[in-house]
């Protein structure tokens, strides 16, 4: 292999606890990855159940907002921009897909800013892609845990893919908040209704009515597929184990915790509570993995590699600027360029995450 | 997971993208690093100031904020580029480009801030048209009406400053009233113009806000929605409007929303005669907005 190939290959970090099967370490993994969904429930549910929202009112651009929602919402939006610290700030990753990291986001930014149609479609796509992408984050962590056990990167891959969709997207499609997702995504194209477009009527009135009437079928389909698949999944892994596959208990716990929390919040809490819990732990896991994999590179980027406090200050900068972005994107953005940037960042986050953390290419 | 290939790669450090202080001037690198992080401190302070507390009202304070932000951006851009390993000519070109862009942005922001300070000025009549230079808007005043220049501001904030000349987010100004011969004080002004800062991120957010207002009005007792919200273009103007009818004393009211630069304008046209739609249309046709952004999606 030539030096050039070597440089183009991302260098996997060697964790001292790799042999233990953890990605980073027992405590770090237990808190920020495997236990993150429980942590999110423990933080978000009591926070919103504490007292009346009037105590937390704060005016933003003349509108009274609930500071709890603002905090969680900013944190969620903050993790979206974090992807650039992996995709663009890591030269090894950047070199793998330079076209995707330059031309595509620039084109999408311009297109969303110029066309309300593209802006609306991108906004609607982002809502559903978010659900899919969040499912696959858990899938990704599971695959890394499998790799830590030296299992083949393809063993059980399809099983994990579908299992994570069932656990994460299943409750969204089958649950009471499916219509909230539908309405939220169709609102992105509200201008079509105002301009008396027949497509607007189709999207704003006919489609939600149809989906609401037939949601029972969707719920039945998800359950009819999900329950037998769970049994098939367990049986398949039993067979794989007999063929030499080594079970990663970290992955098992990750799936149990994530699935339980997903069913619990989507099934038994309000849309807002469920949305905040699911996205909070997703963002927390993302901050954890990005900081773990990129800390040395980012310390150099922030020119702090020669200082003893360099890593701590770099982490502080990442948190501060990501939060500022999240707060701006969530509550302050004005104008189509700002809005286009926010939508483009969300779409790029969902898209890039599909190929910048490849276990098969040993990028993690 | 480690393979032979990745082990081989680990021996080769990832390509340095920054100037290493090992062989060069460590003091220079340290100074540039400190400069870069000082710039970030200034940027973070000015961003927090802007996002949490809003831009200041007083011009001197706004200029201070702008200088803080621009110096922070300029310092961090300059020091970061200067400490990179890019070829010297490219570093110089990028530094010049970044500083020019920051200076341009600063001047543009100051100009916009000054223009926004004209919004509460009273309009004037030129021939038969009402002209408001601060908003860049003008329209034809119907022949039987008299203009009462009576600027008032409604604010959700306590402790309003009476001497101020600009609007904060959430505040709304009414720029005038129109008096009829039978209503010399203009209490039931047939034309009103409300102005508030344009705070929308995109077209569908504007439409959603108007839809909410329409729903709120239509749900009131004695109010009927006679023409639901519609979005259309009239020349260079984007317009969203809807119409309601109030009973039992009939009054046809049309709410017309337009954009003029940093402001959202709402014309409220009222008539006791349901046949006055044509007059409303004529009035809307006469509205002109010059030298301002009029597209909602811009």
Q: Element (H or E) spanning B191, and its range? A: strand B191-197
Please give the Cα distance from A140 to A358 (Å, whole number). Answer: 8
For residue B203, is it within any domain? yes
User: Which parts of chain A have pLDDT scores under 50?
Assistant: 1-17
Percent of chain B whose pLDDT exceeds 70: 89
Examine the domain organization and report whether B281 and B214 are in the same domain: yes
A58 three-class SS? strand
Task: Give the pLDDT confidence score for residue A236 in this predicted structure.
Answer: 95
Examine the domain organization and report whether B38 and B73 are in the same domain: yes
Examine the domain organization and report whether B84 and B147 are in the same domain: no
For residue B16, is it within any domain? no
Alpha-carbon Rg for chain B, nearest whole angstrom, is 27
For residue B188, is it within any domain? yes
Please give the Cα distance from B103 to A126 (Å, whole number). Answer: 35
Chain B contact probe: residue of A62, A70, A90, A304 with most B CBs at under 10 A:
A62
- Is the whole-model pTM more than 0.90? no
pLDDT digits (tens, 9 = 90+) for B93-106: 999 999 999 999 99
Phi first, then psi, for residue B17 (nearest 5°) are: -105, -5
**A148 inside 8 A of chain B by CB:** yes
Residue B110 confidence class, pLDDT cut points 50, 70, 90: very high
Contacts of A307 in chain B (CB under 8 A): 33
Q: Which long-range contacts (CB under 8 A, 24 or more apart) does A315-318 make?
A: A315/A291, A317/B37, A317/B40, A318/A82, A318/A85, A318/A291
B155 three-class SS? coil
Strand partners, B254: B243, B269
Task: Give the pLDDT confidence score for residue B93 in this predicted structure.
Answer: 96
**A118 inside 8 A of chain B by CB:** no
Task: Give the pLDDT confidence score for residue A290 in this predicted structure.
Answer: 95
Residue B16 has pLDDT above 50, yes or no: no
For residue B55, is it within any domain? yes
Examine the domain organization and report whether B112 and B132 are in the same domain: no
Q: Give me the interface pTM, i.e. the ipTM.
A: 0.82
For residue B2, is it within any domain? no
Residue B287 and residue B236 in contact, taking contact as beta carbons nearer than 8 Å: no
For residue B280, is it within any domain? yes
Examine the domain organization and report whether B180 and B58 are in the same domain: no
For residue B294, is it within any domain? no
Examine the domain organization and report whether B201 and B99 are in the same domain: no
In this complex, which of A92, A116, A320 lies closest to B202 when CB atoms are compared? A116
Contact A334 B198 (CB under 8 A): yes
The chain-wide mean pLDDT, for chain B, equals: 84
In this complex, which of A11, A61, A194 lies closest to B229 when CB atoms are compared? A194
Examine the domain organization and report whether B132 and B258 are in the same domain: yes
Chain A contact probe: residue of B173, B201, B238, B295 with most A CBs at under 10 A:
B201
Residue B164 has pLDDT above 90, yes or no: no
Please give the Cα distance from B58 to B254 (Å, whole number). Answer: 37
Contact B157 A14 (CB under 8 A): no
Q: Mind telling me how many Å the CA of A227 is from chain B's nearest CA?
A: 32
| Tokens, residue A64 | 């009274």
Q: Which long-range contacts (CB under 8 A, 24 or more apart) does B219-227 make?
A: B222/B246, B222/B247, B222/B248, B223/B247, B226/B252, B227/B254
Examine the domain organization and report whether B101 and B31 are in the same domain: yes
Contact B3 A116 (CB under 8 A): no
- Beta-carbon neighbour count of residue A211 at 10 Å? 15
| Tokens, residue B209 | 């806000």
Q: Is the bond into B56 cis (omega within 30 degrees of 0)?
A: no
Least confident of A3-7, B29-33, B118-122: A3-7
**A58 inside 8 A of chain B by CB:** no
- Beta-carbon neighbour count of residue B192 at 10 Å? 17
Residue B149 confidence class, pLDDT cut points 50, 70, 90: confident
Task: Give the pLDDT confidence score for residue A325 in this predicted structure.
Answer: 96
- Which residue carries 């599971």 as its tokens? A142
Task: Give the pLDDT confidence score for residue B11 in this predicted structure.
Answer: 37
Task: Give the pLDDT confidence score for residue A19 in this predicted structure.
Answer: 64
pLDDT digits (tens, 9 = 90+) for B250-285: 788 999 999 998 899 999 998 887 777 888 888 899
Burial A272-300 (b: 16+ CB within 10 A, else e): ebbbbbbbbbbbbbbbbbbbbbbbebbbb
Contacts of B211 in chain A (CB under 8 A): 190, 194
Distant-in-sequence, close-in-space partners of A169: CB < 8 Å, separation ≥ 6: A131, A132, A135
Examine the domain organization and report whether B89 and B131 are in the same domain: no
Host domain of residue B46:
25-116
Residue B74 has pLDDT above 50, yes or no: yes
Please give the Cα distance from B23 to B35 (Å, whole number). Answer: 21
Examine the domain organization and report whether B34 and B132 are in the same domain: no
- Domain stop point among B116, B147, B176: B116
| Tokens, residue B292 | 């301002």
Closest by CA to A167, choosing from A226, A219, A225, is A226
| pLDDT mean over B225-232 | 90
For residue B3, is it within any domain? no
Examine the domain organization and report whether B215 and B92 are in the same domain: no
Closest by CA to A125, choosing from A353, A338, A276, A346, is A346
Phi first, then psi, for residue B267 (nearest 5°) are: -90, 130
Residue B32 has pLDDT above 80, yes or no: yes
Chain A contact probe: residue of B4, B5, B9 with most A CBs at under 10 A:
B9
**A198 inside 8 A of chain B by CB:** no
Task: Give the pLDDT confidence score for residue B15 in this predicted structure.
Answer: 44
Please give the Cα distance from A245 to B228 (Å, whole number). Answer: 64
| Structural domain count of chain B | 2
Q: Any idea what the CATH number is for the domain that residue B174 is in? A: 3.40.1000.10
Task: Give the pLDDT confidence score for residue A229 in this predicted structure.
Answer: 94
Contact B207 A317 (CB under 8 A): no
| Tokens, residue B228 | 């639901």
Examine the domain organization and report whether B177 and B275 are in the same domain: yes
Length of chain A: 364
């Amino acid at each position: 292999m030539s030096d050039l190939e070597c440089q183009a290959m991302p260098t996997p970090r060697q964790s001292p606890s790799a042999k233990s099967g953890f990605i980073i370490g027992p405590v770090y993994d237990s808190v920020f990855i495997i236990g993150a969904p429980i942590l999110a429930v423990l933080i978000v549910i009591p926070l919103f159940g504490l007292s009346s929202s009037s105590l937390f009112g704060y005016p933003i651009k003349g509108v009274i907002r609930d500071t709890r929602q603002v905090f969680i919402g900013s944190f969620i939006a903050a993790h979206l921009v974090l992807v650039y610290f992996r995709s663009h700030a890591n030269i090894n990753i950047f070199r793998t897909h330079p076209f995707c990291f330059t031309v595509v986001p620039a084109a999408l930014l311009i297109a969303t800013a110029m066309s309300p149609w593209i802006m609306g479609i991108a906004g609607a796509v982002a809502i559903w892609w978010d659900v899919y992408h969040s499912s696959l984050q858990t899938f990704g962590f599971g695959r890394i845990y499998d790799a830590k056990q030296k299992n083949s990167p393809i063993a059980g891959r399809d099983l994990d893919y579908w299992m994570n969709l069932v656990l994460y997207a299943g409750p969204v499609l089958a649950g009471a908040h499916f219509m909230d997702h539908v309405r939220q995504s169709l609102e992105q194209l509200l201008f079509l209704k105002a301009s008396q477009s027949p497509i607007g009527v189709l999207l704003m009135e006919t489609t939600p009515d149809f989906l609401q009437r037939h949601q029972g079928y969707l719920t039945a389909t998800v359950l009819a597929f999900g329950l037998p698949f769970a049994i098939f999944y367990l049986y398949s892994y039993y067979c794989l184990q007999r063929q030499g596959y080594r079970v990663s208990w970290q992955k098992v716990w990750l799936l149990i915790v994530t699935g339980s929390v997903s069913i619990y919040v989507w099934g038994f809490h309000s849309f807002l509570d469920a949305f905040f819990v699911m996205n909070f732990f997703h963002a927390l896991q993302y901050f954890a993995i990005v900081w773990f994999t990129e800390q040395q590179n980012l310390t150099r980027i922030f020119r702090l590699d020669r200082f003893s406090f360099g890593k701590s200050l770099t982490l502080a900068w990442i948190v501060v600027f990501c939060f500022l972005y999240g707060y701006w994107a969530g509550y302050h953005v004005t104008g189509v360029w700002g809005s286009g940037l926010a939508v483009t960042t969300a779409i790029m986050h969902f898209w890039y995450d599909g190929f910048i953390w490849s276990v098969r290419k040993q990028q993690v | 997971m480690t393979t032979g290939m990745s082990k081989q790669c680990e021996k080769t450090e990832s390509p340095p993208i920054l100037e290493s202080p090992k062989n060069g001037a460590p003091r220079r690198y340290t100074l540039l690093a400190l400069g870069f992080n000082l710039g970030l401190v200034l940027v973070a302070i000015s961003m927090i100031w802007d996002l949490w507390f809003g831009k200041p009202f007083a011009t001197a304070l706004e200029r201070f904020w702008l200088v803080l932000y621009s110096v922070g951006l300029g310092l961090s851009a300059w020091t970061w580029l200067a400490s990179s390993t890019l070829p010297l000519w490219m570093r110089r070109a990028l530094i010049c480009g970044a500083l020019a862009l920051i200076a341009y942005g600063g001047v543009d922001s100051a100009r916009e801030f000054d223009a926004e300070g004209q919004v509460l000025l009273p309009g004037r009549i030129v021939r038969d048209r009402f002209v408001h230079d601060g908003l860049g808007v003008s329209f034809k005043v119907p022949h039987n009406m008299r203009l009462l220049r009576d600027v008032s501001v409604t604010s959700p904030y306590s402790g309003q400053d009476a001497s101020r000349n600009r609007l904060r987010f959430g505040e709304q100004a009414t720029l005038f009233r129109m008096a009829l011969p039978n209503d010399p004080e203009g209490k039931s002004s047939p034309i009103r113009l409300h102005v508030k800062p344009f705070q929308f991120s995109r077209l569908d957010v504007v439409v959603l806000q108007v839809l909410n207002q329409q729903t709120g009005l239509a749900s009131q007792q004695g109010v009927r929605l006679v023409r639901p919200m519609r979005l259309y273009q009239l020349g260079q103007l984007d317009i969203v409007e809807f119409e309601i009818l109030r009973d039992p004393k009939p009054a046809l009211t049309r709410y017309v929303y337009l954009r003029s630069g940093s402001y959202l304008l709402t014309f409220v046209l009222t008539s006791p005669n349901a046949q006055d739609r044509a007059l409303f249309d004529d009035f809307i046709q006469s509205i002109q907005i010059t030298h301002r952004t009029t597209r909602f999606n811009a």
